Chain A
Amino acid sequence: MAAHFDTEYQRLEASYSDSPPGEENLLVHVPDGNKSPWHHIENLDLFFQRVYNLHQKNGFTCMLLGEVFELVQLLFVVGFTVFLANCVDYDILFANKFVNHTDSSKVTLPDAFLPVDVCSTSIRDNVAVMFVLMISGVFWLHRLIKFIYNVCCYWEIRSFYTNALKMSMAELPYFTWQEVQARIVEIQKEHQICIHKKELTELDIYHRILRFKNYMVAMVNKSLLPVRFRPPLLGESVFYTRGLKYNFELIFFWGPGSLFESEWSLKPQYKRGGNRLELADKLASRILWIGIANLLLCPVVLVWQILYAFFSYTEVIKREPGSLGARCWSLYGRCYLRHFNELDHELMSRLSKGYKASSRYMNCFLSSLLTVVAKNVAFFAGSLLAVLIALTIYDEDVLAVEHVLSSITLLGVCITVCRSFIPDKHLVYCPEQLLRVILAHIHYMPDHWQGNAHRYETRDQFSQLFQYKAVFILEELISPLVTPFILIFSLRRKSLEIIDFFRNFTVEVVGVGDTCSFAQMDIRQHGHPAWMSEGKTEASIYQQAEDGKTELSLMHFAITNPQWQPPTETTHFISQLKERVQREATGDRHTLTSLSGSEPRSLIANFLAGPPSLASLHLGRDGSLTNHGPVGVSDGASALRSLSVSSMRGSCSSAHRSAGHASSASRAMAGSSTDARTASSGSSVWEGQLTSLVLSEYASTEMSIHALYIHELHKQQSGGELSRHTWHRQDSDDSSDSVTEEGGSGGGNTNPRNPIPRSHTFPISTPISTPGPIPSSNSGPNPDRGSTPGQEVAPLQSNSQRRYGGNTDSVGPGGRVVRSARVPMGGWAEEGRGGRHPDTVPEGSEDDMPHNIHKVT
Chain B
Amino acid sequence: MAPPLYLLVSPYIQPATVGKQITMNCRSEVLEVSVEGRQVDEAMLALLHTILLHRSTGKFHYKKEGTYSIGTVGTQDIDCDFIDFSFVRVSSDELDRVIRKTVGEFKDAMGNGTDGMGQISLEFYQKKKSRWPFSDECIPWEVWSIKVNVVNLANEQERQICREKVGEKLGEKVINIVEVINQHEYLPKMPTQSEVDNVFDTSLKDVQPYLYKITFQITDTLGTSVSTTMRRLIKDTLAL
Chain A residues engaging chain B, CB cutoff 8 angstroms: 1-2, 4-5, 7-12, 16-17, 19-20, 23, 26-34, 37, 39-46, 142, 145-146, 149, 152, 192, 194-196, 254-256, 261-265, 271, 273, 496-497, 500, 503-511, 513, 517, 525, 540-543, 732-733, 735-736, 738-739, 828-829, 832, 837, 839-846, 848-849, 852-853, 856-857
Contacts and interface: CB of A to CB of B under 8 A. Distances in A.
Contact of B190 (A31, A839, A844): A31
28 contacts: A2-B182, A4-B58, A5-B53, A12-B91, A16-B205, A26-B69, A31-B68, A32-B189, A34-B191, A34-B192, A43-B24, A195-B141, A195-B186, A262-B24, A271-B14, A503-B11, A504-B11, A504-B12, A508-B15, A513-B24, A540-B10, A736-B1, A832-B5, A840-B5, A840-B8, A841-B5, A843-B2, A849-B3
Per DSSP, chain B at the interface is loop
Nearest to B137: A42
B238 A10 contact: no
A846 B4 contact: no
A152 B131 contact: yes
B13 interface: yes
Contacts of B68: 28-31
A346 to B, nearest CB: 23
B126 interface: yes
B27 interface: yes
B22 A42 contact: no
B87 to A, nearest CB: 14
Interface in B221-240: 224, 229, 232-233, 236-240
Contacts of B206: 12, 16-17
A119 to B, nearest CB: 34
B161 interface: no
A846 B25 contact: no
Interface string B188-201: 11111101001100
Given A12-B73, A506-B14, 16 more contacts: A4-B58, A7-B72, A8-B72, A27-B70, A30-B67, A31-B68, A31-B189, A32-B190, A152-B131, A256-B229, A511-B22, A513-B23, A525-B12, A840-B9, A841-B5, A849-B8
Contact of A844 (B2, B181, B189, B192): B2
A540 B11 CA distance: 9
B185 interface: yes
Per DSSP, chain A at the interface is loop
Contact of A33 (B23, B181, B192, B224): B192
A473 B131 CA distance: 42
The 7 closest A-B pairs by CB, nearest first: A195-B186, A16-B206, A12-B74, A736-B2, A828-B6, A542-B6, A841-B8
Given A37-B128, A42-B139, A846-B2, A29 B240 contact: no
B11 A857 contact: yes
Given A508-B22, A849-B3, A33 B237 contact: no
A195 B25 contact: yes
B173 interface: no
Contacts of B15: 507-508
A857 B13 contact: yes
A149 B4 CA distance: 46
B154 interface: no
Contacts of B137: 42
A196 B190 contact: no
B189 A196 contact: no
A585 B76 CA distance: 74
A616 to B, nearest CB: 46
Contact of A31 (B74, B192, B238): B192
Contacts of B69: 19, 23, 26-29
A19 B61 contact: yes
A33 B11 CA distance: 49
Contacts of B7: 497, 500, 542, 849, 853
A40 B72 contact: no
A16 B59 contact: yes
A39 B26 contact: no
A243 to B, nearest CB: 15
B57 interface: yes
Contacts of B198: 34
Contacts of A23: 61, 69
Contacts of A846: 1-3
B135 interface: no
A40 B139 contact: yes
Contacts of B23: 262, 264-265, 513
B17 interface: yes
Contact of A497 (B4, B91, B128, B239): B4
Interface in B15-74: 15, 17, 22-27, 53-54, 57-59, 61, 63, 66-74
A197 B149 CA distance: 33
B139 A542 contact: no
B229 to A, nearest CB: 7
Given A262-B232, A508-B17, A29 B190 contact: yes
Contacts of A28: 63, 67-69
